[in-house]
C-alpha cells in the first residue's frame, strides 16, 4: 500500500507534504505538552522498527500478496507518537527497499498516519466505559486495527483510480484495483485480530504501555 514516485502529479505530492507537515507539527506539539515527552521514545522506536520490518512480511493471496501495515496497532499503542513514527518508517522503507517514494512520502505518510491517529482516539473510548471494560478493550482494539487499515486502503484505492495513466487500459486497471479491496478487507480483519491479541497481552502483563 505504497504509492511510488512518478505515479501521482507534483501538485498532489506537494499537497501531501503540506498535510503531513501540518499533522507532524500538531503531533509534536501534543507530545511536547506531556509531562515527560522523552519517556515514550523507546517504545516509539521499537514499534517504528516493527512497522519498518512488517513491509517485508508478505501474505500470499492469489493472484497477488499482501503485507502487514500495522498502522492501527501503531496508533493504538503510541497515540500522537504514531504519526512521526510512521513517517520515519516510511522514509527508510522508501530509501532502503523502494517501497513508495521520496516524492510521495508526504502522501503515503498522510494515508497511513492519519488513520493511525483515528485508531488511537477510537481505542481511547474505552476510558469512558465503566462496565465490561475488558470486553470493550478487545472490541475497540480490533476495531482500531481494522478500521485504520480499511481507511488507508480506501484512500489508496481512490488515489490510484483517479491517477491511472491514459497509456494503460483504464477500465481494466480500475477493475483490478477494485478487486484488491477484497484483499484489503481480509487484511483489515487480520490486522484487527492481531491488534486485539497484542492489546490483550499488553493489558495483562504491562497495562501502562497502553496509556501512551
pLDDT, one tens digit per residue, over 127-156 is 888 778 889 999 999 999 999 999 999 999
Helix axes 105-123, 71-78, angle to 10 degrees: 50
pLDDT at 90 over 70: yes
Q: What is the pLDDT of residue 209?
A: 83
Q: What is the pLDDT of residue 2?
A: 86
Q: Which residues touch 171 (CB under 8 Å, ≥6 apart)? A: none
Confidence of residue 121 (pLDDT cuts 50, 70, 90): very high
- pTM as predicted: 0.90
Q: What is the pLDDT of residues 41-68, one digit of tens each?
A: 999 999 999 998 887 777 776 666 677 8
CB hemisphere CA count around 81 (13 angstroms) = 24
Q: What is the pLDDT of residues 144-189, one digit of tens each?
A: 999 999 999 999 988 988 887 666 666 776 677 677 777 788 889 9
pLDDT at 5 over 80: yes
Q: What is the pLDDT of residue 166?
A: 66
pLDDT at 212 over 90: no
**Helix or strand (DSSP H, E) at 187:** helix 170-205
Q: Give 10-210's CATH code, choosing from 3.40.50.620, 3.20.20.30, 3.40.50.10860, 1.10.1760.20.
A: 1.10.1760.20
Mean pLDDT of 79-85: 96
Amino acid at each position: 500500500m505504497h504509492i511510488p514516485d512518478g505515479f501521482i502529479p507534483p501538485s498532489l505530492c506537494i499537497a501531501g507534504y503540506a498535510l503531513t507537515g501540518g499533522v507532524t507539527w500538531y503531533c509534536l506539539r501534543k507530545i511536547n505538552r506531556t509531562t515527560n515527552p522523552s519517556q515514550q521514545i523507546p517504545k516509539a522506536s521499537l514499534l517504528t522498527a516493527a512497522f519498518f520490518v512488517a513491509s517485508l512480511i508478505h501474505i500470499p493471496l492469489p493472484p497477488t500478496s499482501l503485507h502487514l501495515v500495522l498502522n492501527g496497532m501503531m496508533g493504538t499503542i503510541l497515540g500522537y507518537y504514531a504519526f512521526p513514527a510512521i513517517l520515519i518508517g516510511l522514509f527508510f522503507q522508501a530509501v532502503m527497499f523502494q517501497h513508495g517514494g521520496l516524492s510521495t512520502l508526504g502522501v503515503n505518510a498522510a494515508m497511513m498516519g492519519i488513520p493511525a491517529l483515528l485508531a488511537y482516539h477510537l481505542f481511547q473510548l474505552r476510558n469512558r466505559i465503566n462496565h465490561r471494560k475488558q470486553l470493550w478493550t478487545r472490541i475497540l482494539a480490533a476495531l482500531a486495527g481494522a478500521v485504520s487499515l480499511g481507511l488507508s486502503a480506501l484512500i489508496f484505492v481512490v488515489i490510484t483510480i483517479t491517477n491511472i495513466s491514459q497509456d494503460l487500459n483504464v477500465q481494466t486497471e480500475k477493475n483490478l484495483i477494485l478487486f484488491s479491496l477484497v484483499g484489503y478487507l481480509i487484511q483489515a480483519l487480520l490486522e484487527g485480530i492481531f491488534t486485539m491479541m497484542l492489546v490483550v497481552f499488553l493489558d495483562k502483563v504491562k497495562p501502562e504501555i497502553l496509556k501512551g
